[in-house]
């Protein structure tokens, strides 16, 4: 639920043009959710995806790359190849 609430709130901020606030909110969410990533990887993966989207739009390529790498690592390490995200 943390991931869903964070993404929805960040989406609202993003729509209002508050890109930095949205990015910071998602970065904080990743930090909170990351410890649960081994046992519940999907919320972490989708939060990384949302962070990557905001960062790309904002032109923060380093943040974008880290978020994409985090999502890929989470999916590879903790989901089965045929398991949907």
In Å, how far are 4, 14, 27, 85 from 21, measured between CA atoms?
Answer: 17, 8, 10, 26
| Residue the block writes with tokens 């960062």 | 55
What mean pLDDT do residues 11-18 have? 96
Residue 11: what pLDDT? Answer: 96
Residue 83: what pLDDT? Answer: 78
Question: Using one digit for the tens of pLDDT, what is the confidence trace for 29-75?
Answer: 999 999 999 999 999 999 999 999 999 999 999 999 999 999 999 99
d(CA 54, CA 59): 9
């Amino acid at each position: 639920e943390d991931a869903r609430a964070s993404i929805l709130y960040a989406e609202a901020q993003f729509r209002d043009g508050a890109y930095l606030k949205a990015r910071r909110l998602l970065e904080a969410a990743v930090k909170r959710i990351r410890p649960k990533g081994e046992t519940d990887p999907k919320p972490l993966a989708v939060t990384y995806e949302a962070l990557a989207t905001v960062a790309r739009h904002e032109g923060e390529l380093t943040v974008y790359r880290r978020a994409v790498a985090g999502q890929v690592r989470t999916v590879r390490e903790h989901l089965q190849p045929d398991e949907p995200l």
